[in-house]
């Protein structure tokens, strides 16, 4: 017979902050699971093809997914830091209040509520933490880090492509600014329950990123992995290619500039689905490099550095 361990305060915490308001499995969650299953199919096969140990595939995937969610939430907090830790007239606990109050200041996101919510994920935080977690695992187990990372590249590209479709179907805010252009798949008018006001056509940046990442997957899966490039060539190529893609997409997305070069456009009221007006940007929004763009530039430079340092354009000699 199993003994139930009662942790004081656990049940009220779960009821209040986790289980309350749950409306079932989201489409985003379903696509995340599909991405995981797709990667779990391709990764062991590629490890076997490279004569690497496929028994490590499960841990690489689990740590990659866990690191992705941890890093994505941490970077999201960095992104909304100025909204969480704010100066409040008559209150001198700017840094204490968010730590002791789950929901934060009235009308502003809370530190803990944002950290443990189902929304608010920044990809590059997940990307960096995922790489960190699986790299530490490979170092701990004395694996060939370069070779294993190369083997994981096609699965990473496919997983990201499917994950971005999850952002699209959930309407969670990974969209571009409003546009009058009407281009199939590239522009889209979101539905009433999404983060974008219904009836407002915007640049469909999640689908753009998904399509680009699918192309990367085809490139690595169908051609690059068979070219016998030097170890970590595929990893470095992916850093450069993905960094360039994300850097470009960010020029269409609604993201704050870390250091604004000029003021963003003035927001305007746009009618929603039920006739009410909703404040939304209806002009070109980019006004300085976003957090993701700075990370993109860093990743591109890192990839180029490895390509040049190790001459990764060269190929290994084919065994006789």
Helix/strand number for the chain, H first, E second:
11, 4
Q: Does residue 306 contact residue 150 with C-beta atoms inside 8 Å?
A: no
Q: Between 90 and 30, whose confidence is greater?
A: 30
Q: Spell out the residues 6+ positions from residue 78 whose beta carbon is closer than 8 angstroms to its own.
A: 122, 125, 291
Instruction: Give which of 120, 131, 93, 113 is closest to 13, Cα–Cα.
Output: 113
232-260 per-position pLDDT tens digit:
999 999 999 999 999 999 999 888 888 99
pLDDT tens-place string over residues 20-67: 444 556 677 888 889 999 999 999 999 999 999 999 999 999 999 898
- The candidate with the shortest Cα–Cα distance to 39, out of 291, 213, 248, is 213
Question: How far apart, in whole angstroms, are the C-alpha atoms of residue 284 and residue 176?
Answer: 9
3-state secondary structure of 187: strand
pLDDT value of residue 192:
61
What pLDDT is attached to residue 123?
73
Q: What angle do CA 287, 250, 303 make, to 5 degrees?
A: 120
- The reported pLDDT for the residue numbered 95 is 54
Highest mean pLDDT among 16-20, 255-259, 261-265, 311-315: 311-315
Query: Strands 268-271 and 277-280: what pairing?
Result: antiparallel
Per-residue pLDDT tens over the stretch 147-205? 999 999 999 999 999 988 888 887 766 788 888 888 888 888 876 666 666 677 889 99
Q: Give the pLDDT score at 291.
A: 86
Q: How far apart are CA 156 and CA 42, in angstroms?
A: 10
Q: What is the Cα 281 distance to its own chain's centre?
A: 23
Mean pLDDT of the residues in the chain: 81
DSSP string, 91-144: B--TTTHHHH-TT-STTS--HHHHHSSS----HHHHHHHHHHHHHHHHHHTT--
Q: Where are the domains of the chain?
A: 15-40+145-319, 53-143
Binding-site residue positions: 164
Q: What is the DSSP letter of 315?
A: B
Q: Which two tokens stand for residue 246?
A: 């994300």
- Of 94, 98, 92, 97, residue with least CA distance to 110: 98
Cα gap 142→31, rounded to integer Å? 33
């Amino acid at each position: 017979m199993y003994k139930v361990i009662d942790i004081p305060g656990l049940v009220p915490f779960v009821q209040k902050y986790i289980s309350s308001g749950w409306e079932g499995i989201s489409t985003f969650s379903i696509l995340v699971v599909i991405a995981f299953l797709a990667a779990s199919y391709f990764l062991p096969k590629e490890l076997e093809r490279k004569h690497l140990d496929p028994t490590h595939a499960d841990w690489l995937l689990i740590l990659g997914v866990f690191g992705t969610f941890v890093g994505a939430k941490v970077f999201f907090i960095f992104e909304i830091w100025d909204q969480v830790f704010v100066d409040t007239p008559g209150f001198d606990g700017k840094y204490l209040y968010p730590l002791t109050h789950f929901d934060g200041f009235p009308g502003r996101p809370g530190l803990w509520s944002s950290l443990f919510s189902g929304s608010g994920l920044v990809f590059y935080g997940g990307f960096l933490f995922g790489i960190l977690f699986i790299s530490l695992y490979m170092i701990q187990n004395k694996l060939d880090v370069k070779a294993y990372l190369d083997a994981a590249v096609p699965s990473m590209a496919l997983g990201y492509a499917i994950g971005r479709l999850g952002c699209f179907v959930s309407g969670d805010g990974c969209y571009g600014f409003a546009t009058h252009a009407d281009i199939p798949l590239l522009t889209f008018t979101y539905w009433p329950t999404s983060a974008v006001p219904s009836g407002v056509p915007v640049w469909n940046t999640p689908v753009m990123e998904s399509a680009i990442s699918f192309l990367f997957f085809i490139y690595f899966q169908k051609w690059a992995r068979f070219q016998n490039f030097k170890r970590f060539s595929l990893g470095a190529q992916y850093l450069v290619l993905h960094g360039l893609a994300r850097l470009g997409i960010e020029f269409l997305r609604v993201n704050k500039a870390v250091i604004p070069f000029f003021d963003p456009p003035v927001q305007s009221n746009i009618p929603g689905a039920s006739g009410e007006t909703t404040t939304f940007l209806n002009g070109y929004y980019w006004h300085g490099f976003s957090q993701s763009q700075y990370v993109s530039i860093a990743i591109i430079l890192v990839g180029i550095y490895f390509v040049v340092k190790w001459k990764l354009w060269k190929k290994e000699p084919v065994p006789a």
